[in-house]
Chains A and B, each alone.
Chain A
Amino acid sequence: MYEVEAIGNMPLITGQGKLSIAQVNAEIAPEAMLVTAVVEGNRDQFARLYDLYAPLVHGILLARVPRNEVADLVQDIFLHALKKLHTLRDRTAFGPWIAMIARNRAMDFHRQSRETVAVTEDLGSTNSPGAKATEILEIIRSLPDAYRETLVLRLVEGMTGPEIATRTGLTPASVRVNLHRGMKLLREKLGFKELL
């Protein structure tokens, strides 16, 4: 189950948090219109939703499942979402909804598949950028759920904190705490200068 970090550090809730909530509301409104259009039969609008949320789903999956499975799972999740979109009651909550589908799908993947080692071309040369990236990703995956997902969305997918909060439905303060604590743990585990 996905964990939301408790907000224990009040100074983190600043004016920026309020601003990002306003931004969230401004960004969600057109997405709700897209969802309504798709539910009413305009399937072309679903491509726009896919473009907006595919990086989020990709990041959530990358934090949980083997890298070579992620691309196919992203497609499956969006097809599933298209089928079940009419069940989404709050149409402004497409982001949190599809994020939850992605997390559940990742858990299903681990239930159904045996323990395997993903063999990729990057394993051959440990000095290549791909190998380094895979190594760091494995370290991030060893962190608690709430930290690893937020860190992957920030460092891999390049989303900012407010964007992560907007897309996932978490509060900006929670995201900020998760980023801060997750980054601290990552620095400790990396042995930063040695690895990079």
Chain B
Amino acid sequence: MNDDYLWDRTGEPDPEIQQLEEVLGTLRYQPRPLAIPAHVESGKRQSHFSHFAIAAAIAVMVLGGGCWFLLNSRRAVDSARVPPMPAATAADPASVASKAVGGSEHVIRSANKSTEDDKIAQPRRNRATQMLAGNVSRSRRQVVKKYEAITGERIEAEAAKEQLLLALRVASAKLSLAQKRTQGTYPASMIRNQHKVG
């Protein structure tokens, strides 16, 4: 079948298609003016707005970045001015140890009292004290170095940490001493003398 009429209305007309056109033509589009509301904007205006929005966003980001940079630079200047060291860290190692330990100070003193007249144990205690003092001075030097390197708040945190570690070391030394006593590895004379004292 030749479908030229169906394709572009050329050639011999097909009566069936003509009938269909006639009937269905009643449903054809009836021209009706397009009512465009005033608030509807065309694409050009919207693109202007989007450009403005992008520019505003970039400006806000630049301003925010500038403020952040200024704040950071001020903090850096403030941290460059290092405050004087706390009194605790400037004191001598023995006093640092006793102050740092806090609660353990009492333990050290009582231990000193309990072994005060023990002449054999004295050298060991002296060595332990010297070791502790050496540790304290070493840690103090480390703390001082760090203190010079980083800001004040961080230094305080580091010093507190060192003090806590020192207290733990002292407590550990005392515990090991007590363990030796209970296990009998400690000199018998010392135990006997302790009984006499007690």
Question: A: which residues have CB within 8 A of B?
Answer: 16, 38-41, 43, 46-47, 50-51, 54-55, 58-59, 62, 67, 71, 74-75, 78-79, 82-87, 129-130, 132-134, 136-137, 152, 154-158, 160-162, 176, 179-180, 183, 186-187, 192, 196
Q: Evaluate contact between A179 and B34: CB separation under 8 angstroms.
A: no
Is the CB–CB distance between B42 and A38 below 8 Å? yes
Interface residues of chain B: helix, strand, loop or mixed (majority): helix
Question: Chain A nearest CB: distance from B2 CB in Å?
Answer: 11
Interface readout for B17-30 with A: 1 if CB under 8 Å, 0 if not? Answer: 10111011111111
Query: Number of residues in B with C-beta < 8 Å to the partner?
Result: 33
A160 engages B32 (CB within 8 Å) = no
With both chains docked as a complex, state the minimum distance between the C-beta of B24 and any C-beta of chain A, in angstroms: 5
Q: Is chain A's interface secondary structure helix, strand, loop, or mixed overall?
A: helix
Q: How many angstroms between the C-alpha atoms of A78 and B33 in the bound complex?
A: 11
B46: nearest chain-A partner, CB-CB: A86
Q: Which residues of A contact B153 (CB under 8 A)?
A: none
Contact yes or no, B45 A156, CB < 8 A: no
Of the residues A82, A136, A157, contact of B28 by C-beta under 8 Å: A157
The docked-state distance in angstroms from the alpha carbon of A176 to that of B4 is: 10
- Taking a contact as CB atoms closer than 8 A, the residue among B16, B19, B27 that contacts A156 in the complex is B27
Q: Which residue, of B3, B24, B34, B44, has the highest number of chain A Cβ atoms within 10 A?
A: B24
Whole-angstrom CA separation of A154 from B24 in the bound complex: 10
> Out of B16, B17, B42, which one reaches A46, CB within 8 Å?
B42
Residue in A50, A55, A71, A87 whose CB lies within 8 Å of B43: A87
Cβ contacts A to B, 5 pairs, < 8 Å: A40-B44, A75-B34, A83-B40, A157-B29, A158-B21
| Chain B residues positioned under 8 Å from A133 (CB to CB) | 23-24, 26-27
Closest A residue to B21 by beta carbon equals A155
Given the interface pairs A46-B42, A155-B21, A196-B19, the reply to whether A67 lies near B6 with Cβ below 8 Å is no
Q: Which residues does chain B contribute within 8 Å of A186, judged by CB atoms? A: 20
Asked whether, in the complex, the Cβ of B26 is within 8 Å of the Cβ of A129, the reply is yes
- Knowing A59-B29, A196-B19 are in contact, say whether A136-B7 is a contact too (CB < 8 A): no
